Each structure stands twice: as structure tokens, then as C-alpha cells.
Amino acid sequence: MSHHIIHLLSPGLRVRMRLDQLHVTDKGKGAEKSIPLRDIALVVCAAPDASFTAGALRRAAELGVVVLVCDEKFSPACLTVPYFRATTADLPRRQAAWSVEWREACWRAVISAKVANQAACATPVSAKTAEALRHIATRCAREPVRAAALPRDPKRLARVTLSQRDEFRTWTPDACESRAARLYWRAVLPKLDPAARRREGGTRDGVNGMLDYGYAIVRTAVLRSLAGHGFIAALGIHHTTKPGAQPLADDLMEPLRPFIDRALLAFLQTPAALAPDHAERMRAWIPRAAAVLMEPLPLREGKVRLLNAIDLYIQSFATACGRGQPEEPVLRFPFLPPLESSPSPP
């Protein structure tokens, strides 16, 4: 099973195929290196002037190797994914016929797993926040509960205690995700950047840009597995389909975001994070973010890398699709393991 993640960071690189080996020539250093393409899971290219031959890109696509290309600010700019290929004719038909109820059940499971992983990430930061997130994850996993009507009488409304507030909340996946995000980032974001006021995607700068890069790495791994199992990534279960988008990858990567959050929390405690220039910090963060995919996770098969756990996750999604509807989907989410030694929460 492919497991290497290749980083191309130096200027003057040329990438081509040679006997099914990815051959990289560093013109500046006069060095050459080869690695079997079948052993590669992902190629991250942040080199400003790297060149790829058409043969290298074609063979990478044939073997399911994803190439992620970054811009001059080290933000993901584009990626290559294999052109759609169906492993079975039945799966695309089932995907196109997903019922609204089945997609909602999948999305509820996805958001419940996401909030559970947020709770695991937040545990060393705030035990109180982590407990609240676990409560949200548990409620989200159930069928959506209609919120009770708030009392109209001001006197009765004033007597509603904090312990009774759950009766007046809706527990749909979207409501749970929004509620959890407010609690989570209120606790975690100050640890990432005390000056940051809120989590803002697409800014490219600071910790927000570093988070976006890490999320793009994880999304690329999800896309790779979806392509390998024959899914049409343009057909999602929740996110809106837009031209050029891959909403199914956006849907299924949601529970994996806290893996990047925890990695960035750890990275910011290292000397490399103290570099005054953001580009230098990003150069140090790029391999660390990709290394998240190589971290071992405890599963019933033993310890497996997150990259392989994502394959098992997507495989379980394919199995759930094949069981028919309206059967409840059973998905094998990668769950963030507890830290071996966590500092005492405040």
C-alpha cells in the first residue's frame, strides 16, 4: 500500500518517469533521486519553478497518486486527481439515487464524529469545553429533535434554568455544528494565535492560512480514496455542488479537521514556529502538516496510519452505499486518540 508523501520545495526541480519510478532532478544541486511511484500516496509541490512531464502526471493519475501544487504563498492552488473511473457500475447508480433521508442520516453521523474529534482536541485546552462538545456530539448522533417552544410569559421565561435549556434547542446537524464551532474556536483559537479574533478560512495569512493548508492536505487524501473506490466526488451528501468543486470530499473530510488542529497546536510550540517570516513558518509547517497522514491510529486491526484509516473510512462509506436505503449508514470514522501526556486543563 502506498505510504510515502513527497515534498518538492527546492527551486529548479524536474520531475519525470523512468521505469515506473518517479525521478526527481535537482538542477541547482546536481542531485537526482528516484522512488517507486506505487509507493507514493501524495506529491506536494511548493517549488516555484518545478516542471512535470506529461508522462509523470499520467502515470501518477493511473496509480491514484495525487499531486498538490501550491502557489507562491504556499497555499494550495490546484491538484490532480484521477479522472472518474467506476469500480462497479452499481455504485455510481446508487450514489445518484441517494435519498434525502439517507443523506441526512450520513451528515448527522459525520457531524457527530467531527464534534467528538473537536472534543478530543480541546480536552488539554479546556475540560469544560470538551465536556460540552461531547454532549453536543451525543445529542447530534440521535434523530433530530424539534426544539420546544419557549414560554411567552416573561415570568415563566425567567424561570428557565440552564439545566433546562436543552429542551429549547434544536439538535439538527447544522445547529450542532454551529454550536460546537463557537465553543471550540473560543477555546482553541487563543492557543493558536492570541491575537486572532475568529477562525477565518481563505485568508492565507497566519494560523488561518496554516490551518487551510493542513485541511487541504487531508481533503486531498479523502479525494484520493474516493477516486480509488469509484465515487463521483462532484455528488455530495450535504455541501452544494459548484462548478469545479468536489463536495463529497468536503463532506467526508469534516471529522478529520481536528487532526490538523492538534498538529498545529503542537507545531506552534516548536522553535520553527518562532521564525519571524510567515513564509519560513509555512516551509516548516508543510512537511509537518503532511506528516499527520502518517500518524498511527489504534483500530481493531491494530495501529494503522491515518492515511490508511481514511481508506477504511471511505470503504465503509462505499459499503453503506451498497446496503441500500433507507438502512442507517454505519461508517468507520478515524477518531482522534487521546494525548499520551496532556497538561492539566485550566
Buried b (16+ CB within 10 A) or exposed e, 17-29: beeebbbbbbeee
Cα atoms in the 13 Å half-sphere on the side-chain side of 51: 6
Three-class secondary structure assignment of the chain: CCCEEEEECCCCEEEEEECCEEEEEECCCCEEEEEEHHHEEEEEECCCCCEECHHHHHHHHHCCCEEEEECCCCCEEEEECCCCCCCCCHHHHHHHCCCHHHHHHHHHHHHHHHHHHHHHHHCCCCHHHHHHHHHHHHHHHCCCCCCCCCCCCHHHHHCCCHHHHHHHCCCCHHHHHHHHHHHHHHHHHHHHCCCCCCCCCCCCCHHHHHHHHHHHHHHHHHHHHHHHHCCCCCCCCCCCCCCCCCHHHHHHCHHHHHHHHHHHHHHCCCHHHHCCCHHHHHHHHHHHHHHHHHCEEEECCEEEEHHHHHHHHHHHHHHHHHCCCCCCCCCCCCCCCCCCCCCCCC
- pTM for the model stands at 0.83
Q: Assign 346 a pLDDT band (cuts: 50, 70, 90).
A: very low
Tell me which of 11-15, 30-34, 149-153, 262-266 is least confident. Answer: 149-153
Checking if the pLDDT of 2 tops 70, the result is: no
Q: What are phi and psi of 321, to 5 degrees?
A: -65, -35
Neighbours of 125 (CB within 10 A): 21
Give 20-50 pLDDT, tens digit per residue: 888 999 887 878 888 898 888 888 888 888 8
How far, CA to CA in Å, does 48 sit from each of 10, 29, 72, 338? 8, 16, 7, 38
Owner of C-alpha cell 489504534: 298
Do residues 265 and 214 make contact, with C-beta atoms less than 8 angstroms apart?
A: no
Lowest average pLDDT, out of 62-71, 108-117, 303-312, goes to 62-71
By C-alpha distance, which of 1, 50, 3 is closest to 23?
Answer: 50
pLDDT tens sequence across 233-285? 888 998 776 655 789 999 999 999 999 999 999 999 999 888 888 888 888 99
Please report the pLDDT score of residue 28 as a whole number.
Answer: 77
- In 3D space, the residue among 162, 96, 118, 69 whose CA is nearest the CA of residue 321 turns out to be 96
